[in-house]
Amino acid sequence: MEFIPLIMFLVVCGVLMLGYPVAFTLSGVALMFALIGTFTGQFDGAFLEALPNRLNGILGNQILIAVPLFVFMGVMLEKSKIAENLLNSMAGLFGSLRGGLALSVIIVGMLLAASTGIIGATVVTMGLISLPTMLKNGYSPALATGTICATGTLGQIIPPSMALILLADVLSSSYQQAQLKMGIFSPESISVADLFMGALIPGLLLVLAYALYVAVTAYLKPELAPAVDKENNTTLKDAMQHMVPPLLLIVAVLGSILGGIATPTEAAGIGALGATLLSWLNKTLNMKQLKETLDSTLNVTSMVFLIFFGAAIFSLVFRGYGGDELVEGIFQDMPGGVVGATLVVMLVIFLLGFILDFIEITFVVVPIIAPVLLAMGLDPIWLGIMIAINLQTSFLTPPFGFALFYLRGVAPKSITTMQIYKGVMPFIVIQLLMLALLAFFPGLATWLPHFIYG
C-alpha cells in the first residue's frame, strides 16, 4: 500500500497517453483514488477539506495574475505582424551573408520567445513566417526546421518567460518547505526576479551557441545555408525601425522586474498595454484583431488555471497517501546521494516532457521532488534553471518533442518528419552541453542573482 502514490502517478501518465485532457485527468484520477482509499480505510478524507483554501490561494496569487497579461502580450504581438515585419527586415539585413536567414530566425525567435514565453506560439509563428522563405532561398530543410524548432523552445529560458514565472512561484514554496524541514523557522524565499536573473547568462549562451553552430555550418557547407540575393537587402535604419519598438517593450518589462520597480504582475500589465500600443502604431489594431486576441488569451488562461486546480487536487491526494515521505525515502536511500538523486530527477523530468507540458510538470512534479532536493542542499535558482533547460531539451527530442509536432503541423508536405528529426539533433547536443556546463559550473546560473540581489 505504501506505493499507492507512485501507482497513482503512473495511472495519470497512462491516461494522458490515451489523449484525455490534462486538468480532468489529474483531478479525476486523484478523486478516484481518494474514493477507493476512503472505502478501504487507506485514505483520510480530511485532506480534501483543504481543497477550498488551496483553490482560493491559486485565484488570489498575485504572481499568477501575470499569466493572462503575458499571454495577451504575446498573442497581440503575434497577430499584429510585428514579428513578421521584424523577421523580414532582419533577413534583409543579414541575408547577403551565408546563413544570414537562419541567424535572423535565431534573433527574432529570441525576441519572440521573450515576449510570448509559449513554445507552441513561437514555433508555429516562426514556421509560418520563416520556413517558406528559407526553403525558397535554397536552405537545407533539416537546417531550416532545426533552427526554427530550437529557437521556438527558447521561451522556456529567455526572460520574461511565463514558464519561469510559474516555476519561481512553485520553487519559492518548495524552498520554504525545505528550510522548515531543516529546522529553519524564518525561511528565505526566491522571487521571479531571482529566476529571471539566473536565466540571463544560460539563455544568452544558448542563443550564441545556436548562432555559432549556424555560422560554422554555413561556412563549411555553404550549399546548406546560401546567401540571399542582394536585391532584397534592407538598410540598418529600416531594420532598426522594426527592431527597436519590440526590443524596448521587452527591456521595459524585464527591466522593471529585475530593477525592482514593478512586480511581475505590474510588468505584465505594462507589456500588455505596450503590445497594444505597438499594434496600434503598426496600424493593424482593429476590433477583429482585439477580439481574436482576447479569445486566445481567455482560452489559454482557462486551460492554465484548470490545470492548476487539477494539480491542487492531485497534490492533496498524493500527500494524503504519504507520497511526500515515500519520495523523500527513495531519494535518501539512492546511491550517489544528492548527485544521484538530481540525475534521476532530471532523467524523469526529461522523459515526462514527452507527455506533459511545462505547466503540468511545474505544478505536479516539481512540488513533489523540489522540497526533498532543496533540503539536500541544492540552490533553488540553479535547480530552476536546470529544470527549465532540461524541459527545453525534452521538447526538442524526437520522437515525442512538442516543438516537433507544432512545426510538423505547419510545415509543407515536402518536408519529411525525418528531416525535422535530423535538423534538431545538433541543437539537442548544444542543449545537453549547456546542462553539463551548468552542472559543473553552477555559478552560470547563481552568480548574477547573488551578485545583484545579495
pLDDT at 312 over 60: yes
| Of residues 115 and 356, more confidently modeled | 356
For residue range 60-80, what is the model confidence (pLDDT) as tens digits?
877 788 888 888 887 887 788
Please state the rounded mean pLDDT for residues 441-449: 93
pLDDT above 70 covers what percent of the chain? Answer: 96
71 touches 300 (CB < 8 A)? yes
For residue range 147-179, what is the model confidence (pLDDT) as tens digits?
999 988 887 888 877 888 888 888 998 888 888
Mean pLDDT value across the chain: 85
pLDDT at 119 over 70: no
Return the minimum-mean-pLDDT range out of 212-216, 231-235, 378-382, 435-439: 231-235
**Cell matching residue 343:** 540525475
- Please, which contacts does 46-50 make with residues 24 or more away whose CB atoms are closer than 8 Å? 47/316, 47/317, 47/319, 47/320, 48/313, 48/316, 48/317, 48/320, 50/316
Looking at residue 163, its amino acid is A
Q: Is 379 helix (H, G, I), strand (E, B) or coil?
A: coil
Tell me the pTM.
0.85
Question: What is the C-alpha separation between 228 and 118, in angstroms, rounded?
Answer: 30
For residue range 71-104, what is the model confidence (pLDDT) as tens digits?
888 788 778 877 777 777 777 777 678 888 888 8
Place of cell 541575408: 95
Question: What is the C-alpha separation between 62 and 414, in angstroms, rounded?
Answer: 47
Three-state DSSP string of 312-351: HHHHHHHHHCCHHHHHHHHHHHCCCHHHHHHHHHHHHHHH
Residues 6+ apart with CB under 8 A from 302: none
Task: Give the residue from 127, 134, 125 showing the smallest Cα distance to 148.
Answer: 127
Please state the rounded mean pLDDT for residues 374-401: 89
Question: What is the C-alpha separation between 29 and 128, in angstroms, rounded?
Answer: 38
Place of cell 497579461: 69
Q: According to the model, what pLDDT value does residue 443 have?
A: 93
Question: What is the C-alpha separation between 179 and 360, in angstroms, rounded?
Answer: 25
Q: According to the model, what pLDDT value does residue 117 have?
A: 61
pLDDT band at residue 316 using 50, 70 and 90 as cut-offs: confident
357 touches 391 (CB < 8 A)? no
Between the alpha carbon of residue 322 and those of residues 3, 99, 308, 329, 345, the distances in Å are: 9, 55, 21, 11, 19
Task: Give the residue from 117, 157, 151 showing the smallest Cα distance to 134.
Answer: 151
Please state the rounded mean pLDDT for residues 279-300: 87
For residue range 226-269, what is the model confidence (pLDDT) as tens digits?
887 655 566 667 777 777 888 888 888 888 888 888 888 888 89
pLDDT band at residue 120 using 50, 70 and 90 as cut-offs: low
Task: Give the residue from 309, 415, 363 showing the smallest Cα distance to 170.
Answer: 363
pLDDT at 385 over 90: yes
Question: What is the C-alpha separation between 25 and 421, in angstroms, rounded?
Answer: 30
For residue range 317-361, what is the model confidence (pLDDT) as tens digits?
888 888 878 887 887 777 878 888 889 889 988 888 877 778 778
Residues 6+ apart with CB under 8 A from 350: 390, 391, 393, 394, 397
Q: According to the model, what pLDDT value does residue 19 have?
A: 75
